[in-house]
């Protein structure tokens, strides 16, 4: 699933080398944090969050049933969480 998220983010980010991915697996959730430079934030999130929402929809569709759900979090380097949402694995 991380490969799918990386692929989508790299299609929109200009500074691909500065993008960082962190995976934190918990009991029922797999948390994927994408940390971007501020110059790429708007490009990856999109107008009104449409790109981020579409990415979560794809992650949801690619998650097998009865698997842990994914939480995709987008952060700005040196900043706070900008966009957070859960995607059920149902």
**Total domain count, the chain:** 1
Q: Please determine, for residue 48, whether its predicted confidence score (pLDDT) is greater than 60.
A: yes
Q: How far apart are CA 22 and CA 9, in angstroms?
A: 14
Query: Domain containing 40: what range?
Result: 2-87
Q: What is the DSSP letter of 28?
A: S
* Residue range 57-85, pLDDT digits in tens: 999 899 888 889 999 999 998 766 555 55
**What is the structure's pLDDT at 11?**
94
Its pTM surpasses 0.75: yes
**What is the structure's pLDDT at 50?**
94
User: Which CATH number fits the domain that encloses residue 36?
Assistant: 3.30.300.20
How high does pLDDT run on average in the chain?
87
Looking at the chain, the whole-number percentage of residues with pLDDT higher than 90 is 70
How does 72-83 read in b/e, with b if 16+ C-beta sit within 10 Å? bbbbbeeeeebb
């Amino acid at each position: 699933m991380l490969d799918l998220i990386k692929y989508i983010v790299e299609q929109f980010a200009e500074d691909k080398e500065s993008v960082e991915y962190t995976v934190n697996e918990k009991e029922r959730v797999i948390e994927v944090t994408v940390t971007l430079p501020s110059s790429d934030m708007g490009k990856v999130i999109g107008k009104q969050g449409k790109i981020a929402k579409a990415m979560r929809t794809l992650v949801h569709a690619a998650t097998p049933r009865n698997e842990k759900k994914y939480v995709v979090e987008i952060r700005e380097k040196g900043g706070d969480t900008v966009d957070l949402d859960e995607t059920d694995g149902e």
